[in-house]
Amino acid sequence: MNNFAFLRAENADDAVRAVNANTHAAFIAGGTNLIDIWKYNLRHPELLVDINHLPDCSAITETVDGGLRLGALVTNADTAYHPLIESRYPLLSKAILAGASAQIRNMATDGGNLLQRTRCYYFYDANAPCNKRVPGSGCAAINGYNRIHAILGASEHCIAVFPSDMCVGLAALAAVVNVTGPNGERRIPFADFHRLPGDQPDLDNNLQHGELITSIDLPPKGFEQNYSYLKLRDRQSYAFALVSVATGLELDGDVIKDARIALGGVAHKPWRVAEAEESLKGKAATPENFAEAAAVILRGAKGYEHNSFKIELAKRAIIRNGMMATEPESQRPGAKPSL
């Protein structure tokens, strides 16, 4: 029996104060990952602070700079199907709809999506050593079955990957995460939100205990003309990515003026390499040029016994998705890319 207290917070300050006062307290919104983790005995909150009724966190609004603000409590489904997201940020809509199931997307919130834990099987197995679950206990995946694990940015302490699709889209769009906490409000560029495992793989992101995500800002540029999200996985639905790619292009004819490429399923955080994106500027959108960018993105990639195939898979996915982004028609459901 896990006894816990439950508090319905009416505003963000009360929520932050309650969680900050108890190191074993947790915020709960959709609960789609927290309840899983609880059932696996990985976490036992003494206090759940319900944030579902906080004001100003449940809407998608336009910002003064021409972008959009996603309230942290907007569900993934409402975000993906919002007319302004579909028309101005279709890359994000596609990324969200590639993830989870319709039922989960109806419950899961945008803030919670950023905070989901890894799906490394050993993380959920209390009998396996896992530095993320029990710091210092070891990593069962490094010499175990590591088909779904990282090829970039891993450490000798953890080779887990971050499982979100939505966050790969947010990384490509250079979103900003707004948080409030015991020390006030701050804005975190998306690239700085999640962490690489290093020697502290128990930390997935740079939030402090008691800090609460209130919203996510999308910059004005949405790459709505040329974009593509490609998710490669073991089955076509309700599976996590082996490799995913979010690509946004700004084209002048077939010449690339601006490019964004973010990878999922390959690292402890969505993976972007600015050098590769810069290298595409002024070049034609061709498989050869995307292949050169892929080589830069995958520089230093390292496979383990069961996942080395991901390096070639990621390279091909970057090339294919780059070309798909040049063909908006290829984004229609069921449409086949020309490659």
The binding site for ligand SF4 (CB under 6 A) comprises: 118, 120, 122-123, 130-132, 139-141, 158-160, 201
Q: How far is the CB of 120 from ligand SF4 (least distance, A)?
A: 3
Asked whether 163 and 267 are in contact (CB, 8 A), the reply is: no
Query: 191 or 196, CB closer to ligand SF4?
Result: 196
DSSP string across 143-170: TS--TTS-SSS-BTTB------SHHHHH
Query: 158 or 318, CB closer to ligand SF4?
Result: 158
Q: How far is the CB of 239 from ligand SF4 (least distance, A)?
A: 18
| Phi-psi domain of 323 (left: phi exceeds 0; alpha: psi -120 through 50; beta: other) | alpha
Residue 335: how many other CB atoms lie within 10 Å: 12
- The alpha carbon torsion through 321, 326, 329, 335 (nearest 10 deg) reads -20
Q: How far is the CB of 206 from ligand SF4 (least distance, A)?
A: 18
Query: 81 or 145, CB closer to ligand SF4?
Result: 145
Q: How far is the CB of 304 from ligand SF4 (least distance, A)?
A: 10
Give the 3-state secondary structure of residue 67. Answer: coil
Q: How far is the CB of 119 from ligand SF4 (least distance, A)?
A: 9
- Picking from 10, 17, 110, the residue whose alpha carbon sits closest to that of residue 54 is 10
> CA 287, CA 268: separation in Å to the nearest integer?
27
Query: 126 or 274, CB closer to ligand SF4?
Result: 126
Query: 135 or 282, CB closer to ligand SF4?
Result: 135
